């Protein structure tokens, strides 16, 4: 009789533990979805600090959610492309911010390698960093040109061909195109990239 009573108590305790774990799992999914959704809305309104904060919360609630990692990369890409600082990354160099964005997207790809959107988000991160770097170099040249006795620097020589960043972008775009062969945008992007680099 005692064994049967002890067995019931153990079964009841195990059932309570299972219910608690299931409840916590459900709470984590709901909270993660809520923060990811709020992050997407903030990103669409270009409220990048709010978007980054919500997506960081979503990552804590659901560390295995691929779209959240991809969206973090998009936030950083937009911040860099538009020259906007992110509070969460204040004091970091542009290369460090790029590293956070690229690592986040790569993690998203690792979690869902069949997601074409994730592959192209890697291209966005590289494009955002390139835009920031080109803007910085142009501003530096402009500043140097107004110094007393300065001579106007010759315009930068337009290089022909793909550099290392371009090759990463092309590879990621080709992977996205393989996953979504009927989505024309990837072909348009490649055509413009080749044209801009002086290639046919």
pLDDT digits (tens, 9 = 90+) for 151-187: 766 766 777 888 899 999 999 999 999 999 999 999 9
pTM, two decimals, is: 0.79
Residues above pLDDT 90, as percent of the chain: 62
Best-predicted range by mean pLDDT among 23-32, 116-125, 145-154? 116-125
- The span from the CA of 121 to the CA of 109, in Å, is 9
Q: What is the pLDDT of residues 6-65, one digit of tens each?
A: 666 666 666 556 555 556 556 667 788 898 999 999 999 999 999 999 999 999 999 999
- The span from the CA of 151 to the CA of 156, in Å, is 15
Taking residues 115-128, report their average pLDDT: 95
Q: Which residue has tokens 């994730």?
A: 118
Residues above pLDDT 70, as percent of the chain: 83
- The span from the CA of 69 to the CA of 104, in Å, is 5
Query: How far does the chain reach from its first CA to its final CA, in angstroms?
Result: 86
C-alpha distance from residue 52 to each of 30, 94, 107, 118, 168 (Å): 18, 16, 16, 17, 25
Which of 94, 96, 99, 51 minimizes the C-alpha distance to 75? 51
* Pick from 108-112, 129-133, 183-187: least confident: 129-133
């Amino acid at each position: 009789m005692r064994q049967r009573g002890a067995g019931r108590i153990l079964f009841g305790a195990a059932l309570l533990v299972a219910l608690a774990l299931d409840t916590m799992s459900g709470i984590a999914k709901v909270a993660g979805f809520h923060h990811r959704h709020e992050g997407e809305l903030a990103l669409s309104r270009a409220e990048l600090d709010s978007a980054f904060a919500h997506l960081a919360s979503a990552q804590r609630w659901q560390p295995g959610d691929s779209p959240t990692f991809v969206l973090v990369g998009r936030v950083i890409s937009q911040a860099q492309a538009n020259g906007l600082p992110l509070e969460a990354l204040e004091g970091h160099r542009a290369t460090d911010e790029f590293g956070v964005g690229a690592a986040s997207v790569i993690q998203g790809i690792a979690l869902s390698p069949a997601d074409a959107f994730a592959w192209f988000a890697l291209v966005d991160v590289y494009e955002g960093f390139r835009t920031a770097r080109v803007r910085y170099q142009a501003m530096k040249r402009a500043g140097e040109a107004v110094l007393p006795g300065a001579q106007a620097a010759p315009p930068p020589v337009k290089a022909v061909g793909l550099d290392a960043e371009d090759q990463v972008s092309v590879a990621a775009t080709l992977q996205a195109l393989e996953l979504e062969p009927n989505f024309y945008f990837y072909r348009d992007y490649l055509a413009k990239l080749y044209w801009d680099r002086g290639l046919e």
